[in-house]
Amino acid sequence: MKPLQNTQLLNRLERLNTIGVALSAERDNKRLLESILLGAIEITNADGGTLYTVTDDQSLKFEIMSNKTLNIELGGTTGKDIPFPPLRLYLDDGSPNLTTVAAYAALNDQAVNIDNSYLVQDFDFSGTRKFDEKTGYRSQSFLTIPMKNHEAEVIGVLQLINAIDLDTKEIIPFSIEIQSLVESLASQAAVAMTNHNLIEGLKGLFEAFIELMAEAIDQKSPYTGGHCRRVPELTMMLAQAAIDAKTGPLKSFTLNEKEFYELKIAGWLHDCGKVTTPESVMDKPTKLSAIFDRIYLIDQRFELLKKQTECTSFQAQILTLRSGGQVDFDKEQSTLEAFKLKCDEDRDFLRRSNFGGEYMTAEDQQRVADIAAMTILDENGIAQPFLSENEVYNLNIARGTLTAEEREVINNHIVVTISMLESLPYPKALKRVPEYACGHHERMDGKGYPRGLTREQMSVPARVMGIADIFEALTAKDRPYKNAKTLSESLYILGKMKLDNHIDPDLFDIFIRDKIYLKYAERFLEPAQMDEVDESKIPGYIP
């Protein structure tokens, strides 16, 4: 082996330092592994090499392969799969696999430097020789280095093949000096890999926890199940469309990879405050729901009213007959039947009114008041209003099933969300999560809640989330107070919201023009909701 000249050694040390710095800054795992192998090949002037990682099932997985002479580049960022199965560290009988060089190095935490594989008897190079016979290549010198993490566990193996003499271009052994350099690089590489794995592990745990919270909220209410999962999906679709816009007011809008991830996290957390919302309010399926649906009490009350009216009529007829008067039984019966029919009609009306809708007319609200004005005798024979004040108040809810007080409880979830999210110690890359997540109930005209922000006071990502939240709610098939709306119905309402200065007009136009609504519908809506959409009839849409 020819020792390195001082100049060569110095140059390689400088290159080793540069590679080490680059490794510590790399965040993409494939590029990181690729940089480790290519850096090792560069400082050793090797013809090729392979990087393996240790798997949970005690095997060495081929991650990156490179060979200059054979023009082979596999794994990593190449997008080309390595067609070799992992190397097993232990055989079927449980004994260590010590005949394979890479496995030996991993099991014994020991570097293996082989001058000429064709002269070695301790290791099985039969597979390598078959490869050489097939390709005409000569796999001669090998340098195999285990890579250890901070806990002294071997997490990978770096194997280089065929050191090339800089002057003669011949295959030479890997020198002791070169081995020391590679061992140093392997150590730095292992630290970089460990740091990357730790960061990815914490990131994975963080995301899993967020998704778990979203799942818990969805599971808490069968009527909003899936909302916390669907809103992030729609948010990402619309945000990407805005980023891709080449014309219009948002043509310069962009989000880098970190900012896009930040918005994704905000989407998952946008309703986290609902963990404090009582199920009795969140799940209120009808206007009269409490511990049970009080409409059934009103049903019984109608039957009682009919019986009381019938008894009163019979008593009056008896008194008339006893006093010698005449009774027109047909007329009395007709009047009684007409009253019973009215009771049945009023009962059916209240049943329909009990289910919340988009709008209750003033005429229907007056009819509720008229029914309430009827009287029914209590157990003491004292006349009482047919409906209580609370029943009238609930039945006359104009939209949905919630009273003003209950809606205040629901709306408070965003206040709780703000409190929860603003209390977290975010890293710099996630600082805007609270802003994005907590703006989905704001309006462009400043009439939203909880802060009454205007369009100018809101970022584009926050406005994106507002549209995503509304459209998901419009098309959701699991709300207790309404049937699932079709695409055309939902887009009509969304268009009216644009004209009403409720949602961002530019994002709305992108939502329609790029058919984000259709891409979302194909993934999440029922076939019955997928009606034909005439975009020219959508209010406020500007192609």
DSSP-derived secondary structure for 213-238: HHHHHHHH-TTSTTHHHHHHHHHHHH
Q: Tell me, yes or no, whether 44 and 179 share the same domain.
A: yes
What are the two backbone dihedrals, phi and then psi, of residue 137, each rounded to the nearest 5 degrees? -85, 165
User: What pLDDT score does 407 carry?
Assistant: 83
CB-based contacts of 354, cutoff 8 Å, min separation 6: 286, 287, 288, 293, 295, 395
Q: What is the CATH number of the domain that holds 241?
A: 1.10.3210.10
> 28 versus 94: which is more confidently predicted?
94
- DSSP H helical ranges for 50-166: 101-108, 126-135
The answer, as to whether pTM is greater than 0.75, is: no
User: What is the separation of C-alpha 498 from the centre of its chain, rounded to a whole number of angstroms?
Assistant: 26
Cα–Cα–Cα angle for 142, 148, 154, rounded to 5 degrees? 80
Q: Domain boundary residue among 399, 417, 451?
A: 399
Q: Tell me, yes or no, whether 459 and 344 share the same domain.
A: no
Domain assignment present for 1: no
Could you tell me the residue range of the domain that residue 37 belongs to?
6-199
Q: Tell me, yes or no, whether 428 and 304 share the same domain.
A: no
In whole angstroms, what is the distance from residue 257 CA to residue 261 CA?
6
Radius of gyration of the chain (CA): 37
Domain assignment present for 216: no
What are the two backbone dihedrals, phi and then psi, of residue 165, each rounded to the nearest 5 degrees? -65, 130
> 113 versus 10: which is more confidently predicted?
113
pLDDT tens figures, 434-474:
999 888 889 999 999 889 999 999 999 999 999 999 999 88
User: What pLDDT score does 183 carry?
Assistant: 85
Question: Would you call 278 exposed, middle or buried from its count of C-beta atoms within 10 A (0-12, 13-18, 19+)?
Answer: exposed
- DSSP H helical ranges for 283-403: 295-322, 329-354, 362-373, 389-395
* CA-based nearest residue to 52, from 127, 135, 160, 188: 160
- What is the chain's mean pLDDT, rounded? 88
Q: Tell me, yes or no, whether 265 and 335 share the same domain.
A: no
The residue whose two tokens read 């280089």 is 160
At residue 1 the predicted structure's pLDDT band, cuts being 50, 70 and 90, is very low
Q: Tell me, yes or no, whether 175 and 232 share the same domain.
A: no
CA distances from 183 to 11, 48, 104, 111, 531 (A): 17, 17, 16, 8, 65
Domain assignment present for 211: no
Q: Tell me, yes or no, whether 126 and 267 share the same domain.
A: no
Domain assignment present for 289: no
Question: Is residue 450 reached through a cis peptide bond, with omega within 30 degrees of 0 on the bond before it?
Answer: yes
Domain assignment present for 168: yes
Q: Tell me, yes or no, whether 155 and 176 share the same domain.
A: yes
Q: Tell me, yes or no, whether 123 and 29 share the same domain.
A: yes
Q: Tell me, yes or no, whether 370 and 476 share the same domain.
A: no
Greatest mean pLDDT range, 2-11, 210-219, 243-252, 409-418: 243-252
Domain assignment present for 456: yes
Res. 512: pLDDT tops 70: yes
Domain assignment present for 256: yes
Q: Domain boundary residue among 399, 425, 460?
A: 399
Q: Tell me, yes or no, whether 418 and 503 share the same domain.
A: yes
Domain assignment present for 543: no
Q: Tell me, yes or no, whether 163 and 241 share the same domain.
A: no
Q: Domain boundary residue among 365, 399, 433?
A: 399
pLDDT tens figures, 138-168:
999 999 999 888 788 898 899 999 999 988 9
Are the beta carbons of 268 and 421 closer than 8 angstroms?
Answer: no
CA atoms within 13 A on the CB side of 375: 6
Least-confidence region, from 11-20, 169-178, 397-406, 528-537: 11-20
Q: What is the CATH number of the domain that holds 75?
A: 3.30.450.40
Give how many domains the chain has, as a whole number.
Answer: 3
Q: Tell me, yes or no, whether 413 and 302 share the same domain.
A: no
Cα–Cα–Cα angle for 52, 56, 59, rounded to 5 degrees? 45
Mark residue 149 as left, alpha or beta (left: phi above 0; alpha: psi -120 to 50; beta: remaining). beta
